A and B are shown apart, each in its own frame.
Chain A
Amino acid sequence: MSEDSKELARAGSFGMEVHFHDNHCIKSSFVKVLTGMIFDIAGKLEAKGGMIGHVKLIAQTDAGFVKMSVVDIRLGVETVDELKGDMSKKGSIKLMAVVLGLEDGTVEETVEEALTHLGGCMEYHLAGHDCDHDH
């Protein structure tokens, strides 16, 4: 028996951090975009034959944070909304997915494809990139 629990579970995972700026969405639209993105990721991972462990994200801004997770697409997106007042123009989003029965690469590809949802609200870049923006 393998000593590595991830291998033992046949789990694929991928996590990423995105920095965003020039957000022009109000709070409700911002939350809607994130909800659409995380549900899209979960749905596609299940469609590819995986069993979702969890897909979760936290978006942090000067105006607070919102945390979302999907553990089963039948239950939809669970949201903890601690965003206060007006939306901030910049912030970060940490996103993590763990799925049983899929490879890391498949999870990564699915998550990265879904980032296009963010384009409706903001400019975004992967953390660690080189740019001139003030993050």
Chain B
Amino acid sequence: MMIICLISGFLGSGKTTLMIDLGKRLGKKGKRVAIIVNEVGEVGVDGALIDAYGLNSVELTEGCICCSLSGSLQNTLRAVANDYKADIIFIEPTGIALPSKINGIIRTSMVEHESKLGICVVDAFRAPRIYQEAELFFRRQIEDVDLVAVNKMELVSPEQLAEVEELVGRLNPKATVLKMSAKEDRGVEAIEVRLVDRMGGGA
């Protein structure tokens, strides 16, 4: 049965890069991957990029699927689940979406799925500034996920990375915290393994 993976995280944290990487990896394993991507603005850059890499995506623009486009998300999720028969549906909301709201929308969509993995991508370089200037989003995006991927580890010192890990762990003690660099393809495999496990093993 299908699984759903919600990849949230603040603007510019690297959600799309991670999702494309995971989509390509799972595709190579023979998994059917579908992507629902959401942009806050009128024009979809991420959808164009995902399509350029040959992945199957549906793009929802001009609003956020956690609030103004919640109905669109439900309808799209049902359509993708029914029409595409995916092994996994990735949902990438805008960088200012709140995962708890999307979790509720997924629940009430009544789309059958084996399990759901919520990932929050955190930009290790900008985390201190984002926490300072947009604490509400930073905190709530981390609070409601199963796994926090501390991305862009190549841009910070080990000490800075440890501080971000400590902050993330304090905000969500239950979540698994992984360090990674989507750009340098480091640490992504650990997430891929978790997704494959939830889909019932290899191809």
Contact = CB atoms under 8 A, between A and B. Distances in A.
A97 B68 CA distance: 19
A97 B43 CA distance: 10
- How would you classify the secondary structure of chain A's contact residues: helix, strand, loop or mixed? strand
Contacts, number: 100
Interface residues of A, number: 35
Interface string B121-159: 001011001000110110000000000000000010000
Given A72-B126, A96-B39, A3 B45 contact: no
B133 A67 contact: no
Interface residues of B, number: 35
Contacts of B45: 15, 56-58, 67, 94-96
A114 B94 CA distance: 24
B66 A5 contact: yes
- How would you classify the secondary structure of chain B's contact residues: helix, strand, loop or mixed? loop
A112 to B, nearest CB: 13
A97 B126 CA distance: 17
A43 interface: no
Given A5-B64, A71-B12, A94 B44 contact: yes
Given A3-B67, A71-B12, A9 B44 contact: no
12 contacts: A3-B67, A4-B67, A6-B68, A15-B45, A60-B48, A60-B52, A65-B52, A67-B52, A71-B126, A72-B12, A82-B52, A97-B41
